[in-house]
Amino acid sequence: MAQAVPTVNVKKPAKKKTTDVGQISQWRLMVRRFRQSKLSVIGGIVLIIMYIMAAFAGFFSPYPYDLIDSNNKWAAPTAIHWQNGRPGICGVKQIVDATTFTFKYETDCTNLIPVKFFVHSYPYTILGATSTLHLYGLDTTKEGADTAKLYIWGADLQGRDLWSRVWQGARVSMTVGLIGVGIATILGSILGTASGYFGGMVDNNMQRLIELISSIPTLPLWATMAAALPHDVSVVTRFFFITLVLSLITWTGLARQVRGKVMSYRAADYTSAARAAGGSHTRIIMTHMMPNAISHIIVVAALAIPGTILGETALSFLGLGMLPPAVSWGVLLRDAQQVSTVTTYPWLMIPGVAVVVCVLCYLLLGDGLRDAADPYG
């Protein structure tokens, strides 16, 4: 008799869960595509850190940005020494070189002055509240702490802390870029959408206006407007004026790009179906035009912010933008206009390095957003 062959239960391999790309929203695809660009992510993180440093400049700065100390003119960046595992600085004495008639500093490291963290010092205002807490500062109980200064990035002609002034200036330079591009984005989106959707006489007049604005030379325009603005106006008024001028010049490029996008959407089948179903112009624009163009608008806006930051820096550097006692990166770079000054005190170029880092990070961020705007590519 034939023996029965035993049956063996073979487990079927579990099917891997696959994600259907068509079931993922476009925004999630954009986020996934953006994360693949490591440089863009790093640029975004650096920008977040810079904005946090600018917003909480008083907390991260040991001294007020406008504190004048004639005993520390052109002071070089302070060297940090370690003693028993704790950071400290040497005492400094200012002397005048009889040969070059420049200020020099002699250090005395026999008794280090400790650097402490989370110390209470001068008051500052943050988010409407007053605080005296600072991230770091000198131990005021040690001998010589009343005359010693901790300058991470050195000091300027009047002995003011360059570290404090750079982050205070970042509030103006980096905020002008955001607000200026925000206004330009709203203008460019509205006018570009109207020009591309309605066409005809509206499109023709809008394009002639854009060509007229684009043909105006920017530097003479800035010089004329700066001359028309009184020098005794407040810092807030001058800030608003510069932001308005920059936004009125930069909206034309975005308007033309949005116009081209909207013209292609206007010829699509879903737009014709919406129009045949009786949809109003407002509903078609808000439902079909703007959502499809929003990713492109975000990319163009991100790439336009560096130009606005450079514009404000150039204006302030030439004396046409922010003026002392206001602080911005362009105002700080005015101290580095002479080559002889820069070669003697190279730390005065640190505000320029801050401009380069900020603009570079924005360009990297915009490049990643541009790739992410087309997640199906």
Query: Number of structural domains, the chain?
Result: 2
Spatial separation of the C-alpha atoms in residues 295 and 28, rounded to whole Å: 12
Same domain, 174 and 269: yes
DSSP SS3 for 124: strand
For residue 111, the model assigns a pLDDT of: 74
Same domain, 220 and 345: yes
| 237-285 per-position pLDDT tens digit | 888 888 888 788 888 888 888 888 888 888 788 888 888 888 888 888 8
Beta bridge partners of 124: 131
Same domain, 191 and 126: no
In the numeric block, which tokens belong to residue 105?
């500093």
End residue of a domain, out of 133, 159, 185 = 159
Same domain, 348 and 246: yes
Q: Is residue 20 part of a domain?
A: no
Same domain, 176 and 145: no
End residue of a domain, out of 159, 178, 210 = 159
CB atoms within 10 A of CB 12: 5
Same domain, 183 and 325: yes
Same domain, 152 and 187: no
The domain that contains 207 carries what CATH number?
1.10.3720.10
Phi-psi region of 199 (alpha: psi -120 to 50; beta: other; left: phi over 0): left
Q: Is residue 155 part of a domain?
A: yes
For residue 359, the model assigns a pLDDT of: 93
CA distances, 337 to each of 219, 343, 346 (Å): 19, 11, 12
The answer to whether residues 358 and 174 touch, using CB atoms and an 8 Å cutoff, is: yes
End residue of a domain, out of 144, 159, 174 = 159
The answer to whether residues 49 and 56 touch, using CB atoms and an 8 Å cutoff, is: no
For residue 57, the model assigns a pLDDT of: 92
Q: Is residue 65 part of a domain?
A: no
For residue 4, the model assigns a pLDDT of: 53
Q: For residue 110, what are the domain limits?
A: 70-159
Q: How far is CA 283 from the centre of its chain?
A: 35
Spatial separation of the C-alpha atoms in residues 168 and 57, rounded to whole Å: 6
Same domain, 114 and 217: no
Same domain, 358 and 303: yes
Residues 6+ apart with CB under 8 A from 277: none
Same domain, 103 and 238: no
Residues of the chain with pLDDT under 50: 1, 18-19, 21
In the numeric block, which tokens belong to residue 321?
């933008």
For residue 374, the model assigns a pLDDT of: 65
**133 φ, ψ (degrees, to nearest 5):** -85, 130
For residue 1, the model assigns a pLDDT of: 47
Spatial separation of the C-alpha atoms in residues 56 and 133, rounded to whole Å: 11
Look up the pTM and report it: 0.80
Same domain, 75 and 178: no
For residue 12, the model assigns a pLDDT of: 53
Q: Is residue 354 part of a domain?
A: yes
Residues 6+ apart with CB under 8 A from 94: 71, 72, 73, 103, 104, 105
Spatial separation of the C-alpha atoms in residues 270 and 291, rounded to whole Å: 13
